[in-house]
Amino acid sequence: MRELRRRAQACPTSAISDIFESKAVATAEKVRTVCTYCGVGCNLEVAVDSNKVKSIQAPYDAEVNQGHTCLKGRFAFSFYDHPDRIRTPLIRRNGELVPATWDEAYDFIAEKLTAIKSQHGPDFIAGISSARCTNEENYLMQKFIRAVIGTNNIDSCARVCHSPTALGMQRTFGTGAATNSIEDLKYTKCIMIIGANPTDAHPVTGAKLKQVAMKGIPSIVIDPRRTEMAKYATHHLQLRPGTNVPLLQMMLYYIIMDGLEDKTFVASRTEGYEGFRQQILGLDIDKLEQTCGVSREQVRAAARTYASAEAAMSFHGLGVTEHSQGTLTVMLIADLAMVTGNIGRRGVGVNPLRGQNNVQGAADMGCQPHQGAGYLDVTKPGVPQPVRGVLPR
């Protein structure tokens, strides 16, 4: 059934269909929306009849997914109408949750928040927003918590999963967003995937990465697991869990040792390089090799592939960011891109694979305690974060 469902939209004779009969369903109303399951953000076309979802198709004119979706986006929609779905606000009275009207709920919330604020102060209140919500909703949520309640206690999943990406990229590039678009895969000559399993976690982007690897474009997978992408990889660096930092330091070491830096780029577009170079060359390569458990020859070969490619793109996921050294790892990925000139043009760059469809927006809108909308430091209102080059750490 899994295979049948995968092929349902593409079967040219309609001999294979799916249990929702997606292709046969004719409804007057089609709603274009965005899948919220993962960070790819596939466009979906939802066939609606009498306010019920009848089927979901993937539009061919969608830039992100061009007729593709994974199983989740196309078929996992029955939850919206599930009998367990809560359809009215609930207020706990005498220990039990009882249905209430929206007016009652708003009055209850306002009364409780006002009482807590006047009794204990605004810092006794916190708000959690969501990277599955729109920019407008996220902006309003943080504005409410900051301007109405009066506290910076606002957070969201954007900070939890990828704050090391935001911070690491802000420190190195000045901004925490992906530097390139997925479309750039058409132009790349090398892909490096670190701490991510995109064919499972970001299936539509994963399929595009797989296509690139299957075309024979060199790929490097840095992951303790033998992921599907690892099976196609030119280099699979199967490091010990939690050792991304020494492995990337080894890659930098060999790129510098072998004179594979993009010297023009480094001289004109980075700062602090000489100190950085000395630090990297001063590292104990025996110790790094021992720590990460990958032979220096393997690392050197992968480093040469990445640095010699005309254009190399890197992708990273939670296997980078959900480690205590996540920020440093992201900075090293950015350093690799800068040292080799793989930034600022098509088919290159540093591309985090985010967890939800609007992680970037939730962070941009300021749904995190330390930074407001536009990444302004909450301790210095009105002063933008400093932009830093390759160094200092």
| Closest chain position to ligand SF4 (CB) | 73
Any contact of residue 361 with ligand SF4 (CB under 6 A)? no
Any contact of residue 312 with ligand SF4 (CB under 6 A)? no
Q: How far apart are CA 388 and CA 376, in angstroms?
A: 16
Any contact of residue 40 with ligand SF4 (CB under 6 A)? yes
Q: How far is the CB of 187 from ligand SF4 (least distance, A)?
A: 22
Of 331, 361, 337, give the one whose Cα is nearest residue 349. Answer: 337
Among 8, 42, 167, 332, which residue interacts with ligand SF4 (rule: CB under 6 A)?
42
Any contact of residue 317 with ligand SF4 (CB under 6 A)? no
Any contact of residue 56 with ligand SF4 (CB under 6 A)? no
Choose between 141 and 353: whose C-beta lies nearer to ligand SF4: 353
Q: How far is the CB of 173 from ligand SF4 (least distance, A)?
A: 26
Among 20, 22, 35, 243, which residue interacts with ligand SF4 (rule: CB under 6 A)?
35
Any contact of residue 349 with ligand SF4 (CB under 6 A)? no
Q: How far is the CB of 353 from ligand SF4 (least distance, A)?
A: 10
Any contact of residue 70 with ligand SF4 (CB under 6 A)? yes
DSSP 186-255: GT-SEEEEES--HHHHSHHHHHHHHHHHHTT--EEEE-SS--HHHHH-SEEE-PPTT-HHHHHHHHHHHH
Among 5, 6, 23, 72, which residue interacts with ligand SF4 (rule: CB under 6 A)?
72
Q: What tokens were used for 46?
A: 């939802």
Any contact of residue 62 with ligand SF4 (CB under 6 A)? no
Q: How far is the CB of 38 from ligand SF4 (least distance, A)?
A: 3
Q: Are 304 and 338 in contact, with CB atoms under 8 Å apart?
A: no
Contacts by 114-121, CB closer than 8 A, 24 or more apart = 117/149, 117/150
Q: Are 145 and 151 in contact, with CB atoms under 8 Å apart?
A: yes
Any contact of residue 182 with ligand SF4 (CB under 6 A)? no
Q: How far is the CB of 65 from ligand SF4 (least distance, A)?
A: 6
- Per DSSP (E only), the strands in the chain are 29-34, 43-49, 52-57, 90-93, 96-99, 127-128, 154-155, 190-194, 219-222, 235-237, 312-316, 349-352
Contacts by 22-25, CB closer than 8 A, 24 or more apart = 22/47, 22/55, 22/56, 22/57, 22/74, 23/57, 25/54, 25/55
Residue type, 332: L
Choose between 20 and 37: whose C-beta lies nearer to ligand SF4: 37
Q: How far is the CB of 46 from ligand SF4 (least distance, A)?
A: 12
Choose between 65 and 165: whose C-beta lies nearer to ligand SF4: 65
Q: How far apart are CA 312 and CA 338, in angstroms?
A: 11
Q: How far is the CB of 70 from ligand SF4 (least distance, A)?
A: 3
For 291, the enclosing helix (H) or strand (E) is helix 285-292
Three-state DSSP class for residue 29:
strand
Choose between 162 and 323: whose C-beta lies nearer to ligand SF4: 162
Choose between 59 and 293: whose C-beta lies nearer to ligand SF4: 59
Any contact of residue 209 with ligand SF4 (CB under 6 A)? no
Contact residues for ligand SF4, defined by CB under 6 A:
35, 37-38, 40-42, 65, 69-70, 72-73, 202-204
